[in-house]
Amino acid sequence: MVSLQVTFQPSGKRLLVEPGHTVLEAAHAAGIQLRAECGGKGLCGKCKVQVSGYEGYTEEEMEFFSQNELARGFRLACQAIVDKNLTVYIPEGSLARKQRILVEGVTRKIVLAPNVKKIFLKLPEPSLEDNRTDVERLRDSVEYDIGSVSLEALNQIPVAMRDSRFEVTLVLLGNELVGCERGDTSNRCFGVAFDVGTTTVVGYLMDLNTGEQRAVKARMNPQISYGDDVISRINFAQSPENLERLRKSLQDCLMGIVTELSDAAGLRRGEVYELVVAGNACMQHLLLGISPRSLAVSPYIPVVKEALSFPSTLYGKRMYVLPMIAGFVGADTVADIIAHPLDNHLRLLIDIGTNCEVVLGTADRVLACSTAAGPAFEGTHIKYGMRAAPGAIERVEINDDVTVHTIDDEPPQGIAGSGLISVTAELLRHGIINRAGKLQPGEEFSSRMRNDSFVLDGTVAITQKDLREIQLAKGAIFAAQRILLKTYGVTVEELEEICLAGAFGNYIPKEAAKDIGLIFDLPTEKIKSIGNAAGVGATLCLLSVKEREKAQAISETVEYVELSSRKDFQQEFMDAMFFPHSNLDLFPLVRERLSRTSTYFRQESSPLATK
């Protein structure tokens, strides 16, 4: 078969591909990360490219481009087939951009008890009188019972011993001898904890002797090219070849982060001895090459939920993978709980990502559930939605005019999840939308309406359809909270704290979130952002095997509530689609504040009065 040449501009990258591949596939092969939130199905329209001399277009492309644009060669990369040598121009907006990634989290003090130990030994040299084997010599020289000896260690032992006058440092993982190094290297002992998210992967390089964090590096999850949410990826992973593609891309990402971290901290090769991974169920399945198919269909079960500790190297490193609670309450939630252990205060923990996990409980009893918030808060399904990258609107103030605040103060390019909450709350406060979410601007804002959209700045607007997406998302998230409280048998008054975890949770404007009814109406001081709790939890598990025992206990004892089997979920969902809720009694503080600060809500026909 003749290979065809594809040239990408403005980067100038070139590669040969076989005919029949899509331009999107060619871009991936060239290492160019195009946006493809729908997984390359022609549905999201994010992978726009300009192809010179290309003819023909699909029905999907007609949806996204005007005749003029089509004539100018605009195409969707996922639809355009390479059938001759092509030059492809990629607009900036079609590239998966570098995002603001949350790496910080609130951590807590623990006693160091890492799974990796290094022991320096000065061994007696062998003689005809003392002709113990090398391994016997090692076993006899440490106080502590060495179990099995890995093949890697066996390969290192004779060389290390004889090259350094029988002064060696043992590397133990649990009670397994996994390495033997020349001389005294006991002060060099590192591990990396990973928070593997659907969108981002964060790695924390830890010094296992001191517990200090030595470096943090984050990357976009490269699987984004194959679909934006877990469901797209599960669909993509149906064939063994695609499953392997997803596995490989995530492996490369993790290993790349390990290299970056090592370089940043000046480590030599091989000084990272263990990796600890916390991710949602789908990510963990994909990382291990396990088909995630069963996660996507009822009854939504994972293949495995217990902690996995591979006795041999995986991808060249020892790896511990945290246990999960259920198919959609993954190890990331376990890590959240590890980071913020439940005590005797009744606490609600909400981790909003593409999926939203909600945990409720005390040290005695814990419930957890998951709900598909959808990717609205991550920018997809929203006309001008985007991830939290420079130029994303993250806060909106509406007074006489509309003021937008963007990340890094760059010119507005779209709306981040936090911006969506902020703008919705502002629209509500001014009565530009009603409690049912309908755009109904009064005269003073009518000039900002364009078709079914409310213009925020220049070309960036929020549409009626966007508002429906937000209602669906927040409705599901709030209904999940309600069901958990009901199942637990407690009222909102008994709730002592709400913790918002995760990248998005950290940036949520708290007042606005209450105003629109995303979370319960607690006093703001009782609502805490706890940052990247999953990363903190993974780090704690790297630093101490005791924390791993806790993780296993959490995985086994947390009661999973399957919302899809709850008959009352639909009603709760419907009620929660109102802003803030159909039952305003649930939001006394919001009602009080809005009546006080909002002209609109002081009107006689205040919607606050009616249901």
DSSP 229: S
User: Using CB under 8 A, which residues numbered 546 to 585 contact its own copies?
Assistant: 562, 564-565
Q: Single out the segment in contact with its own copies by CB under 8 A; choices: 91-99, 288-296, 352-360, 376-384.
A: 288-296
User: What's the closest the beta carbon of residue 466 comes to its own copies, in angstroms?
Assistant: 33
Q: What share of the chain is helix, strand, coil (3-state, %, to 5)?
A: 35, 25, 40
174, 256, 289, 441: residue in contact with its own copies (rule CB under 8 A): 289
Distance (Å, whole) CA 544 – CA 320: 12
CA distance 31 to 401: 44
| CA neighbor of 171 nearest in space, from 119, 218, 223 | 119
Q: Which is nearer to its own copies, 106 or 545 (CB)?
A: 545
Is residue 442 involved in binding its own copies (CB under 8 A)?
no
Q: Which residue, 111 or 297, has its beta carbon nearer to its own copies?
A: 297
Sequence-ordered strand ranges (E) for 262-304: 272-279
Query: Using the rule CB under 8 A, is 19 a contact of its own copies?
Result: no
Partners of 314 in beta bridges: 317
- Residue 2, interface with its own copies (CB under 8 A)? no
Nearest approach, Cβ of residue 116 and its own copies (Å):
18
Strand ordering across the sheet containing 167-173: 116-122, 167-173, 176-182
Stretch that binds its own copies, among 40-48, 92-100, 291-299, 347-355 (CB under 8 A): 291-299
Judged by CB under 8 A, which stretch of 145-153, 228-236, 362-370, 396-404 contacts its own copies?
145-153
Coil, helix or strand for 601? helix
Nearer to its own copies, 307 or 594 (CB): 307
Q: Which of 20, 56, 299, 411 binds its own copies (CB under 8 A)?
A: 299
Is residue 368 within 8 A of residue 321, CB to CB? The reply is: no
Alpha carbons 306 and 324: distance in angstroms, whole number: 6
Site mask for its own copies (CB under 8 A), range 82-121, x = bound: ----------------------------------------
Which three-class secondary structure state does DSSP give residue 47? coil
Give me the amino acid identity at 499. C
**3-state class of 308 per DSSP?**
strand
Return the bridge partners of 434, or none.
none
Interaction of residue 314 with its own copies, rule CB under 8 A:
yes
Structure tokens of 425?
A: 């709350």
Among 95, 119, 123, 149, binds its own copies (CB under 8 A): 149
By beta-carbon proximity to its own copies, the closer residue of 57 and 310 is 310
Pick 15 or 149: Cβ nearer its own copies: 149
Nearest to 349 by CA among 556, 195, 501: 501
The C-alpha atoms of residue 65 and residue 43 are separated, in whole angstroms, by 13
DSSP 293: H
How is residue 383 written in tokens? 């006309």
Q: Which is nearer to its own copies, 212 or 568 (CB)?
A: 568
158 sits near its own copies (criterion: CB under 8 A): yes
Among residues 30, 135, 449, 492, which is the contact residue for its own copies, using CB under 8 A?
135
Stretch that binds its own copies, among 299-307, 401-409, 451-459, 602-610 (CB under 8 A): 299-307
Binding to its own copies by CB under 8 A, coded x per residue (else -) over 361-380, reads --------------------
| CA distance linking residue 437 with residue 462, whole number of Å | 12
* Position among 3, 9, 148, 440 found at the interface with its own copies (CB under 8 A): 148
**Binding residue for its own copies, selected from 15, 265, 304, 608, defined by CB under 8 A:** 304
Q: Can you tell me which of 50, 87, 164, 294 binds its own copies, judged by CB under 8 A?
A: 294
Please check whether residue 436 is in contact with residue 467, taking contact to mean a CB–CB distance below 8 angstroms: no
Sign of the alpha-carbon torsion through 185, 187, 188, 190: positive
Binding mask 476-505 for its own copies (x = CB under 8 A): ------------------------------
Q: Give the contact letters, 511-550, x = binds to its own copies (CB under 8 A), - = no.
A: ----------------------------------------
User: How is residue 335 written in tokens?
Assistant: 């890590």
Count of CA atoms in the C-beta half-sphere (13 A) of 378: 22
Span interacting with its own copies, options 301-309, 371-379, 391-399, 464-472, rule CB under 8 A: 301-309
Nearer to its own copies, 214 or 566 (CB): 566
Among 16, 112, 113, 151, binds its own copies (CB under 8 A): 151
Instruction: Report the alpha-carbon distance of residue 279 to residue 321 in Å, rounded.
Output: 9
Strand 559-560 to 366-371 pairing: parallel
> Are 383 and 466 a contacting pair, CB within 8 Å?
yes
Residues contacting 397, CB < 8 A, separation 6+ = 403, 405, 426
Residue numbers at the binding site for its own copies (CB under 8 A): 126-128, 130-136, 148-149, 151, 154-155, 157-159, 162, 288-291, 293-294, 298-306, 308-312, 314, 326-327, 562, 564-565
